[in-house]
Structure 1
Amino acid sequence: MMERNQVLYLAASWCLSYPDEELLARVPLMRSALAEHPGIGAAFEGVLALLSSASPMEVQASYVQEFDLGRRHALHLSYWTDGDTRRRGEVLGSFKQVYRQSDVLVDTHGELPDYLPMVLEYAALVDMAAGRDLLIRYRPSLEMLRFGLLHDKLPHARILQAICDTLPGKSPADEQAVMKMAGLGPPTESVGLDPYDPRLLPLKGT
C-alpha cells in the first residue's frame, strides 16, 4: 500500500496534468486510492467531479484555457521565482541534476524539468526525499499558484493547499507574505516574458 503522501502527490500530479483519455480513465483509481487515506480525499473532490462530469472535449478545453494559454496558473515552479530571466536556465539545470542522481531514468515527456506534475510524480514514485526537497525549496511558487487558483475560483486550489500542508510551516496569508517568504521580489532581468507581478492576480480573464 502506498503511503499517504505518495498517494497525495501522485493524485495531485495527475489532477494537474492535461486530461487526456488515459488520465480520465484513472479517475476511479484515484478515488479508490484516496479513500484509503481519510482526510485527503476532500481536497480532490472538486477536480475529480469536474473530470468525471463533463465531456472529455470540455474538460480538455477548460484545462488549456486555464493552464496553457496564460501565465496566471503557471505549473512551472521556477517561473514564479525567476520569470524568464537568464538565471532560470541554471535553475532548470538544477532540477535535471536532481533527477540524474536517482537510479531511475526520468522521462520529462518534453516538459521543462520544473513542471509541477513531474516533480510530484518524481516524489511519489522515484525519490520522496529528493522530490519533497524540491517542493520545500519552491514552496513560494506553490503558494503563488495556490493564490492564483483561489482568485479564479478553481477547485485545483484545494489540491495545492493539500500539497502545501505536507510541507513544514503554515501557508502565508497573502501574496506579499509569499514574496517575503521567498526573500526576493519579482525577477528584473527579463529576456522574454515580463516578470511575474502579483498585482495581476485579481484581474480575471487577463
Structure 2
Amino acid sequence: MVVNFLGNKRTSLVDAPPAVNVNEQQSRILWMSCAVLLDYPDDDFFTRLDAVEENVSVLPAEVAESLRTFVDFTRSHTLRELQTHYVDTFDQRRRCSLYLSYYATGDTRQRGAALISFKEMLAACGFEQSRDELPDHLCVVLEAAAQENESIAAQVLATHRDGIEVLRTALHARKSPYAHLIDALTATLPELDETTRERYLSLVTAGPPTEMVGQSLPFPTSEPEARS
C-alpha cells in the first residue's frame, strides 16, 4: 500500500481556515508574532511570548484564538520540553520543513537557484536578515513581510501557499500545537485557488522532487544536540 508524503496510507487533508479580514497593522502584528513563535525556543522564548500576548488583543477573534491556544500550550510546559518538541517536529521531519523552497524543489539542483531568489527578494524588500537561517526559512520571510512596505514578502507567502498547506496538514497530523500558528497565518493569506489546491494535493501524494545531489545543497539536518 502506497504511503504518501505525510506518512499516511491515505491522504488526510485538513480544511484551510476561513479567510479573515485584517488591516495592514494587524497583518504585520500577526506575521511578526508567528515569526517569533515559530523560531526555536531559546532562553528568551518566554520574553518573546510575553510580547506576543501584549498584542494579541488587536487581532481578529479567530486569529487571536489560534495564537492564544498555542500560548496556553507553551505556558504549561518547561523550556526543555518545548525545545525537545521543536527539534522532533521541525529538525527531524522533512514533511514539517520550515524551508519554503524545499516543497517546490526538494533535494534537487533547483534548490540553489530558489535560495538565490529568496535572497534577492529580501534585498528587494530592503530587509537585512539577522537570523542565522537560510533566506527561505518561514520565520525569515514572515519577519520581512511584517517589516517591509511593498508587500513583496507577503506575495512570496501567497506564492508558496501550497507548501505552507502541506506544513499545516503535517502539523495537524502530528497534533502539534504549532498547527495553530500556521492556521492563523493561512487565515490572513488569499484563499486557495484551484491551481494552488492541485499543487498542494500533488505534494501530499508524491512529495517534493527527489533528485538527490548529495551534500551540495543546504537542507536542515540538525540533530537535537546541535541546538543550544
Q: Is 2:208 the counterpart of 1:186?
A: yes
Structure 1 window deviating more from structure 2 (79-88 vs 27-36): it is 27-36
1:56-205 mapped onto 2 (5 Å cutoff)? 56-107=79-130, 109-127=131-149, 129-170=151-192, 178-179=200-201, 186-192=208-214
Q: What is the DSSP-based 3-state SS (H/G/I as helix, E as strand, rest coil) of the residue aligned with 1:3?
A: helix
Between the aligned partners of 1:177 and 1:22, the Cα distance in structure 2 is 38
Partner of 2:71: 48
Gapped regions of structure 2 (runs ≥ 5): 1-23, 216-228
TM-score (norm 1): 0.81
- Identity over aligned residues, as a percent? 32
Q: What is the DSSP-based 3-state SS (H/G/I as helix, E as strand, rest coil) of the residue aligned with 2:129?
A: coil
Displacement of 1:56 in angstroms is: 1.1
State whether residues 50 and 59 of structure 1, in contact with CA within 8 Å, keep that contact through their aligned partners in structure 2.
no
Which 4+ stretches in 1 moved above 2 angstroms?
102-107, 179-182
1:1-16 mapped onto 2 (5 Å cutoff)? 3-16=25-38
State whether residues 102 and 208 of structure 2, in contact with CA within 8 Å, keep that contact through their aligned partners in structure 1.
no
Letter in 2 for 1:132: A
Between the aligned partners of 1:94 and 1:36, the Cα distance in structure 2 is 34
How many residue pairs get matched?
A: 188
Structure 1 window deviating more from structure 2 (85-94 vs 34-43): it is 34-43
Higher RCO, 1 vs 2 (CA within 8 Å, ≥6 residues apart): 2
Displacement of 1:164 in angstroms is: 1.5
Q: CA RMSD in A?
A: 2.5
- Which whole-Å deviations, capped at 9, do the CAs of 1:125-165 have from their partners, x for residues lacking one? 23460110110111111000001001111122122122122
TM-score (norm 2): 0.74
Q: CA 1:128 to 1:7, structure 2 compared with 1: closer, same or farther past 3 Å?
A: farther
